[in-house]
Amino acid sequence: MNLELIHAELVRIREALEARPYASGAPAAKPAAPRSEEVPMPTEVIADAGNVQVHFGKNKGVALSSLGDRSVAWYAQEPEPRLGNNGKPFPPRPEDVLLRNAARTIIHQKRGTLPSAAVPTAPVATSVNEEHVPF
């Protein structure tokens, strides 16, 4: 008698699940990955960002200036956090932060969206002829 009750309950559950409008069997849509236009500002502007080399993957040892815009934008995105056994995220490694900030610096320099105070500038070389100084 108990088995009949369990079976009847399972049948009602199945019917309820199949009656839902979103139970089409299609997988749930994944959240869209951030587009390359949505690159965050660097937390630190890297002075010589183009010379920072990738330290992992297929581009290991390649300078960011040698990569295409899409690749640089990929390195500029915030990665999914790596979780430890306790469920807490590991802190980012210094080389990951450097690479991410360098990629972000390159992108925002090209767009002209870095704050003017944060843009690293090379010292301007000027030659002064001391004989013709007006004072």
pTM above 0.75, yes or no: no
Q: What is the mean pLDDT of residues 86-113?
A: 91
pLDDT at 74: 92
> Encoding tokens for residue 91?
């802190």
pLDDT at 58: 94
Alpha-carbon span 34 to 71, nearest angstrom: 14
Q: What is the mean pLDDT of residues 85-107?
A: 92
Q: Does the pLDDT of residue 123 top 50, yes or no? A: no
What are the tens digits of pLDDT across the range 5-53? Answer: 889 898 988 888 887 766 455 555 555 544 445 888 899 999 999 999 9
What are the tens digits of pLDDT across the range 48-91? Answer: 999 999 999 999 999 999 999 999 999 999 988 888 888 888 89
pLDDT at 53: 94
Residue 52 φ then ψ, to 5°: -70, 130
Contact between 43 and 96 under an 8 Å Cβ cutoff? The reply is no
Buried b vs exposed e over 40-68: b needs ≥16 C-beta within 10 Å? eebeebbeebeebbbeeeebeeeebeebe
